[in-house]
Chains A and B, each alone.
Chain A
Amino acid sequence: MNAPRIDIRDLTIRHLGRKRRCLEQVSLTIAPGERVLIAGPSGAGKSTLALCLNGLVPHSVDVHWVSGSVDISGEATSTLPPGDLTRRIGILFQDPDAQVVLSTIDEDIAFGLENRGIPPADMPALIARARLAVGLARNSDREADDQVRVPEQVDRLSGGARQRLTLAGLLAGNPDVLVLDEPVANLDPVGAATVWATVAALLGEDATRRQAIGRPVSQALAASPSNHQGTIDARNARHASRSLIVIEHTADDVLPLLDRVIVLDQDGRVALCGTPDDVFIGNRERVRSLGTRLPVWASVAHLTGSASLPRSLDEAALAFGEWTRRTGTPSSPVVEPEPQTRTTSNRAPLIGPRIALNGVSFRHRETDREAVSGVTLTCAPGELIAIVGANGAGKSTLGLMLAGVVQPTAGKVLLDGTPIEEVPAGDQRRRLRYVFQHPEHQFVGQTVRADLEAALRVEQLDAHAVARRVDDALRRADLEGLARANPFTLSHGQKRRLSVAGALLTGPDILVLDEPTFGQDDHHTAQLMATVNGRVADGCTAIVITHDLDLVACHATRVIAMREGSIIFDGTPAELLESDPILRSCSLRRPPAAELAWRARRLGFTTPPVTCRRDLELLKPTVSTTTGGTGFSDSLNLEPIVEPPAATPLREPVSMGAPPDAFGPGPRDTWLERRNPTVKFGVVIMLGFMMTFVFNPLTPLAWLAVIMVVAWTTGIRPLRLARLLGPVTAFAFSLLWTNAFLAAIPQGEPVLWQWGPFHLTVHGVVQGFSLAMRGVSTAAVGLLFILTTDPTLLVVSLVHHGRLPYQWGYALLAGYRFMPGLADELVQIRLARRVRGEDVTDERGIHGTWGGALRRRANGISRPFGELRILLTVAILRATRLAIAMDARGFAGITTRTYFRTAPLTPADPTFAVTSFLALTLVYVVTSWIAQTPWVPPS
Chain B
Amino acid sequence: MNEPRTVKPSRPNGRGTSQNWRTTDLMVVVVVALVFGAIYFAWAGPYEWVAAFGGTPTQEAANGLWFVAGLLGPYLIRRPGAALASETLAALAEMLVGAPWGPSLVIYGVLQSIGAEATFALFGYRRWTLATMVIAGVAAGLVSLPYSWWDYGYFALDVPVLVTMLVTRTLGVAIAGILAKSLGDALVLTGALKDTAIGRARMEEV
**A interface, CB within 8 angstroms of B:** 16-19, 58-62, 81-82, 117, 119-121, 446, 482, 484-489, 684-685, 687-689, 691-692, 725, 727-728, 731-732, 734-735, 737-738, 741-742, 744, 757, 771-772, 774-776, 778-779, 781-783, 786, 800, 806-808, 811-812, 814-816, 819, 822, 865, 868-869, 871-880, 882-884, 886-887, 891-899, 902-904
B89→A873 contact, CB < 8 A: no
B52→A742 contact, CB < 8 A: yes
A782→B98 contact, CB < 8 A: yes
A782→B95 contact, CB < 8 A: yes
The 7 A-B pairs with the shortest beta carbon distances in the complex, nearest first, are A688-B103, A775-B100, A778-B102, A489-B191, A892-B12, A738-B52, A879-B27
Residues of chain B with a CB closer than 8 A to A806's CB: 7
Tell me the complex Cα distance, A874–B192, Å. Answer: 8
Residues of chain A with a CB closer than 8 A to B34's CB: 815-816, 819
- Known interface pairs A876-B193, A902-B2. Does A737 touch B52 (Cβ–Cβ under 8 Å)? yes
- Nearest CB in chain A to that of B26: its residue: A811
A117→B195 contact, CB < 8 A: no
- 21 example contacts (A-B, Cβ-Cβ < 8 A) are as follows A59-B12, A62-B200, A120-B2, A482-B206, A486-B189, A727-B98, A734-B45, A738-B51, A779-B98, A806-B7, A819-B34, A819-B38, A822-B35, A865-B186, A873-B192, A876-B192, A878-B31, A880-B192, A883-B195, A896-B6, A898-B5
- Nearest CB in chain A to that of B156: its residue: A744
- Known interface pairs A19-B205, A744-B156. Does A872 touch B98 (Cβ–Cβ under 8 Å)? no
- Known interface pairs A689-B104, A732-B100, A779-B98. Does A486 touch B190 (Cβ–Cβ under 8 Å)? yes
A879→B31 contact, CB < 8 A: yes
- Nearest CB in chain B to that of A781: its residue: B102
B206→A485 contact, CB < 8 A: yes
A897→B100 contact, CB < 8 A: no
- Known interface pairs A775-B100, A800-B1, A897-B5. Does A892 touch B203 (Cβ–Cβ under 8 Å)? no
Task: Tell me the minimal C-beta distance from A779 to chain B in angstroms.
Answer: 4
Tell me the complex Cα distance, A691–B98, Å. Answer: 15
In the complex, B135 has a CB within 8 A of chain A? no
- Known interface pairs A744-B156, A869-B183. Does A60 touch B22 (Cβ–Cβ under 8 Å)? yes
B35→A883 contact, CB < 8 A: no
Residues of chain A with a CB closer than 8 A to B187's CB: 869, 872-873, 876
- Nearest CB in chain B to that of A443: its residue: B190
In the complex, B13 has a CB within 8 A of chain A? yes
Contact with A along B133-154 (1 / 0, CB 8 A): 0000000000000000001000
Residues of chain A with a CB closer than 8 A to B6's CB: 895-896
A19→B102 contact, CB < 8 A: no
In the complex, B17 has a CB within 8 A of chain A? no
A488→B1 contact, CB < 8 A: no
Chain B CB within 10 Å — which of A800, A815, A822 has the most?
Answer: A815
Residues of chain B with a CB closer than 8 A to A684's CB: 103
Chain A CB within 10 Å — which of B6, B7, B12, B156 has the most?
Answer: B12
Residues of chain B with a CB closer than 8 A to A742's CB: 51-52, 55
Tell me the complex Cα distance, A688–B156, Å. Answer: 23
- Nearest CB in chain A to that of B89: its residue: A812
Tell me the complex Cα distance, A693–B32, Å. Answer: 32
Tell me the complex Cα distance, A718–B191, Å. Answer: 48
A883→B100 contact, CB < 8 A: no
B104→A688 contact, CB < 8 A: yes
- Known interface pairs A19-B206, A902-B2. Does A815 touch B30 (Cβ–Cβ under 8 Å)? yes
B192→A691 contact, CB < 8 A: no
B24→A884 contact, CB < 8 A: yes
- Nearest CB in chain B to that of A882: its residue: B27
Task: Tell me the minimal C-beta distance from A276 to chain B in angstroms.
Answer: 36
Residues of chain B with a CB closer than 8 A to A489's CB: 191, 194
Tell me the complex Cα distance, A892–B104, Å. Answer: 34
Tell me the complex Cα distance, A692–B55, Å. Answer: 21
A62→B195 contact, CB < 8 A: yes
A119→B31 contact, CB < 8 A: no
Tell me the complex Cα distance, A734–B9, Å. Answer: 50
The residues in B between 113 and 131 inclusive whose CB is less than 8 angstroms from any CB of A are none
A896→B23 contact, CB < 8 A: no
- Nearest CB in chain B to that of A735: its residue: B48
B85→A880 contact, CB < 8 A: no
Tell me the complex Cα distance, A880–B13, Å. Answer: 15
B27→A883 contact, CB < 8 A: yes
Task: Tell me the minimal C-beta distance from B90 to chain A in angstroms.
Answer: 12
Residues of chain A with a CB closer than 8 A to B196's CB: 880
Which residue of B1, B31, B156 is within 8 Å of A815 (Cβ)?
Answer: B31
Residues of chain B with a CB closer than 8 A to A18's CB: 205-206
Tell me the complex Cα distance, A692–B106, Å. Answer: 13
Residues of chain A with a CB closer than 8 A to B51's CB: 738, 742
- Known interface pairs A731-B45, A822-B35. Does A811 touch B27 (Cβ–Cβ under 8 Å)? yes
Tell me the complex Cα distance, A117–B2, Å. Answer: 11
Which residue of B39, B151, B195 is within 8 Å of A880 (Cβ)?
Answer: B195
B157→A744 contact, CB < 8 A: yes
- Nearest CB in chain A to that of B158: its residue: A744
Residues of chain B with a CB closer than 8 A to A895's CB: 6-7, 9
- Nearest CB in chain A to that of B39: its residue: A868
In the complex, B166 has a CB within 8 A of chain A? no
Which residue of B39, B101, B192 is within 8 Å of A488 (Cβ)?
Answer: B192
Residues of chain A with a CB closer than 8 A to B195's CB: 61-62, 880, 883
B27→A880 contact, CB < 8 A: yes
A82→B102 contact, CB < 8 A: no
- Nearest CB in chain A to that of B22: its residue: A60
Residues of chain A with a CB closer than 8 A to B15's CB: 62
B28→A776 contact, CB < 8 A: no
Tell me the complex Cα distance, A783–B97, Å. Answer: 8
Tell me the complex Cα distance, A488–B195, Å. Answer: 13
Tell me the complex Cα distance, A486–B194, Å. Answer: 11
B183→A896 contact, CB < 8 A: no
B30→A872 contact, CB < 8 A: no
Residues of chain A with a CB closer than 8 A to B96's CB: 782, 786
Tell me the complex Cα distance, A894–B5, Å. Answer: 10
B156→A60 contact, CB < 8 A: no
The residues in B between 21 and 69 inclusive whose CB is less than 8 angstroms from any CB of A are 21-24, 26-35, 38-39, 44-45, 48-49, 51-52, 55
- Nearest CB in chain A to that of B30: its residue: A815
Task: Tell me the minimal C-beta distance from B178 to chain A in angstroms.
Answer: 12
Given A18-B205, A775-B100, A899-B2: 20 more A-B contacts, CB < 8 Å: A17-B206, A60-B12, A60-B13, A81-B9, A446-B189, A687-B103, A734-B48, A774-B102, A781-B102, A782-B98, A814-B30, A819-B34, A880-B24, A880-B192, A883-B24, A886-B27, A893-B11, A895-B7, A897-B7, A898-B2
A782→B102 contact, CB < 8 A: yes
Residues of chain B with a CB closer than 8 A to A17's CB: 191, 194, 203-206
In the complex, B4 has a CB within 8 A of chain A? yes
Residues of chain A with a CB closer than 8 A to B48's CB: 731, 734-735, 738
Tell me the complex Cα distance, A598–B12, Å. Answer: 53
Which residue of B10, B106, B194 is within 8 Å of A894 (Cβ)?
Answer: B10
Residues of chain A with a CB closer than 8 A to B175's CB: none
Which residue of B1, B106, B190 is within 8 Å of A904 (Cβ)?
Answer: B1
Residues of chain A with a CB closer than 8 A to B204's CB: 17
- Nearest CB in chain A to that of B150: its residue: A692
Task: Tell me the minimal C-beta distance from A684 to chain B in angstroms.
Answer: 6
Tell me the complex Cα distance, A775–B99, Å. Answer: 7
Tell me the complex Cα distance, A895–B4, Å. Answer: 10
- Known interface pairs A731-B100, A779-B100, A822-B35. Does A893 touch B106 (Cβ–Cβ under 8 Å)? no
- Nearest CB in chain B to that of A905: its residue: B1
B24→A121 contact, CB < 8 A: no
Contact with A along B163-206 (1 / 0, CB 8 A): 00000000000000000000100110111111110011001111
Tell me the complex Cα distance, A16–B204, Å. Answer: 9
Residues of chain B with a CB closer than 8 A to A688's CB: 102-104, 106
A16→B200 contact, CB < 8 A: yes
Tell me the complex Cα distance, A482–B206, Å. Answer: 7
B4→A896 contact, CB < 8 A: yes
Tell me the complex Cα distance, A732–B184, Å. Answer: 32
A883→B23 contact, CB < 8 A: yes
